[in-house]
Structure 1
Amino acid sequence: MSEDVRGGRHRHRSGRVAQVPASADPAGRRHHQRQGPWDAEHAPRDGRLRLDLGSVQLPIPRGARLKAEPDPSGPLRAVHVLVPEGRLTVSAFAAPRTGGLWPELVEELAAQLQSEGATIRRDRGEWGRELVARNGDTVARVVGVEGPRWMLRGVGTGPVQHALKLHGLLREMIRGTVVARSSDPLPVRSLLPLEVPEDVPPEFADSLVESMPTKPRQITRPEGPVIPMMLPQRAGAGTSPGRT
């Protein structure tokens, strides 16, 4: 399987973004500053409809359905976007000011998935290093992009025969995503908080409400490679500063 890799509301925060030394180019940072994904301070006024989940504002493909994944303790782990070709998930995490989180995570994830029986391939995409994991007839592509004090991770999982289109949809969603990093310092690798707005657009409301739990519960594991929604914490990983 080959793949071509060339290819609302906005919440604004006060404060300035620290300058990154020219020698440091965390995963896709210089690229995303020109073409997305976007930090909330530089969000484009493009008129696109985005679902505002607090820390991320996602452009949802037409005709998609949404599914919430809660943590057993109650908070949301993720909101999955279900399309005919598979499942798309875009999440944001707290990252060091100087970046460098994605190269660590992509190798950790590769080792974990390989130990679970998946076949691993490393690719280069428009933001840099990507990971492709295949298990049977299901394939998952994982993309990472680092911004100012955040890292965005996108995952597209679905049948092999739909991978080309699904992963194109994943890249399109990542390009249009806006990340709203709070002013609070957070542990590095922690998921930026997600919340479901009261005014969910009608075309997505029914499917999202149906999936919201009435009590904490686990989500059934899908077939194929399983990408953990939460990142493993490492001793001494430090704290990601908020906006100053």
Structure 2
Amino acid sequence: MSDTEHPKSAPADRATAGPFDDSEANPVRPYVDLGGIKLVPRADLAVRLEVEEGNKRVVAVALDYAGSTLQLQPFAAPRSSGLWHEIREQIVQQIEKQGGRTAASTGSLGPELRAEIPAPDAKGARIARFVGVDGPRWFLRGVISGEAAVNPEAAAKVEELFRSVVVVRGTTPMPPRDLIPLHVPASVAGATAPGATPTGPAAQV
């Protein structure tokens, strides 16, 4: 981890077009409350929670939308500096270790990475886009796969979905890069989250 501070990476209109801080969210709009993030309900949106085996901790939210999947993870971040520049470098290193390839580009959300990741069965590769936005005291990472990784029309829909997300940082002190706690919506608490997917060790930024 570098001691170098980087400026925040975010669209110029983030505060008005998202992704939003909880203080910027519409106070009368109904949201699906997942703890560290809140989502606007959509009829054609499927929400899956990725759960760490063993301690059953929710480590990511996966949204199936427009023939694509958008995986979301909110992290605590410094107040004045950003994390996305350094995290992009780490993602490149991780994917290269897996034998994959990455290409840097700039999209509607700012700097992003397009990656070709070898499939576990060694047959072909999976295409994914890594996007990220630095907000006030938080960083929101998204991994886009499916149609939105290759189709501009689907990409625009998923980028709009990403920008509708509300990040709830809370007031609890947290070290930068710690995952902001996620939880099952209150409406299904006590039951198994619909579509909950066990994963391996918690993803790290």
Question: Could you tell me the TM-score, scaled by structure 1's length?
Answer: 0.68
- Given residue 69 of structure 1, which amino acid in structure 2 is its aligned partner? E
The CA deviation string for residues 183-227 of structure 1, in whole angstroms up to 9 with x for no partner, is 111121111000112226xxxxx9x734347xxx546xxxxxxxx
What SS does structure 2 have at the residue aligned with 1:209? coil
Larger Rg: 1
Where 2:15 maps in the other structure, the secondary structure is helix
Matched, 1:173 2:161: yes
Contact 1:27 1:146 in 2 (8 A): yes
For residues 50 and 89 of structure 1, do their structure 2 counterparts lie closer, same or farther at Cα, with a shift above 3 Å needed? farther
- Say which of 139, 154, 179 aligns to 2:142: 154
Deviates more, 1:162-171 or 1:68-77: 162-171
Q: Secondary structure at the match of 1:144?
A: strand
Residue 61 to residue 229, structure 1, CA distance change in 2 (3 Å):
farther
Match of 1:230 in 2: 203
Note the residue ranges of structure 1 that are not aligned, 5 or more in a row.
1-23, 201-205, 220-227, 233-244
d(CA) in 2 for partners of 1:120, 1:40: 33
Q: Counterpart in 1 of 2:120? A: none
User: What is the RMSD computed on CA atoms of the aligned residues?
Assistant: 2.7
Which position in structure 1 is the counterpart of 2:81? 99
Deviates more, 1:81-90 or 1:34-43: 81-90
How many residues get paired?
191
Distance 1:161 1:141 in 2: 6
Identical residues among aligned pairs (%): 31
Deviant stretches of 4+, over 4 Å: 159-162
Q: Structure 2 vs 1, CA of residues 34 and 218 (structure 1 numbering), >3 Å: closer, same or farther?
A: closer
SS in 2 for 1:63: coil
C-alpha contact 2:169 2:180 (8 A) present in aligned 1: yes
C-alpha distance in structure 1 between counterparts of 2:49 and 2:104, whole Å = 29
1:197 aligns with 2:177: no
Of 45, 62, 69, which residue of structure 2 is paired with 1:64?
Answer: 45
- 1:112 is paired with a residue whose SS is helix
Describe how 1:123-138 pairs up with structure 2 within 5 A: 123-135=105-117, 136=124, 138=126
Contact 1:130/1:144, CA 8 A, preserved across alignment = yes
Letter in 2 for 1:107: E
Q: Higher strand share goes to which structure?
A: 2
Q: CA deviation at 1:229?
A: 5.9
Unpaired stretches in structure 2, ≥5 consecutive residues: 1-5, 118-123
Q: Which amino acid aligns with 1:55?
A: G
**How far is 1:101 from its partner?**
0.8
What is the TM-score when the length of structure 2 is the normalising length?
Answer: 0.80
The CA deviation at 1:69 is 1.1
3-state SS in 1 of match to 2:152: helix
